Amino acid sequence: MSGVQTAAFAVIAGSSEHDDLFGLFQFLWGHWVQRQRAYARLDVVAVDSGESFHFFVEPDGKGRWRIAITRQRYHALLDVVYPVLTVPPAYFVSRVPLSRREQVRFGKGSDHYKLEFKDREGRLLTVLRELSDRLLLSS
């Protein structure tokens, strides 16, 4: 992908290590506020299954900046090909500070944050919030 910065991140489901998740947030936020094209992949892996998320920071066909998102589950032990699902694109992205409790729990300072994604009408894209909450609460 010429002219597009790329990055890959991985999180082990149930792990207490979240640096890659916070790294993903920083990568996306930095490109979002600078309006720079970017692609990031997040793999959430477990013993025999997982899920891949693909994030594209880019303008849409009308020149409005968005983060387009796809996701696909996989299972190592099943002979099943799961479909690639398209999440509604995020046209509004904001930083959400970690609570004091989260800062203590993850050993992170006030400079760490989560991201909140909203669609064109300003509705919260819950699939990403649920993913973030699931990963952060599972440790």
pLDDT tens digits for the chain (139 residues)? 668 999 999 988 776 677 888 899 999 999 999 999 999 999 988 888 888 999 999 999 999 999 999 999 888 888 888 889 888 999 999 998 887 877 777 777 767 788 999 999 999 988 777 776 666 655 4
Looking up tokens 């400079």 gives 111
Query: 77: closest CA among 52, 50, 54?
Result: 50
Q: Which two tokens stand for residue 137?
A: 């609460």
Q: Comparing C-alpha atoms, which of 118, 133, 131 is closest to residue 43?
A: 131
* Predicted local distance difference test score (pLDDT) of residue 110: 67
pTM over 0.75: yes
Name the DSSP letter for residue 81: -
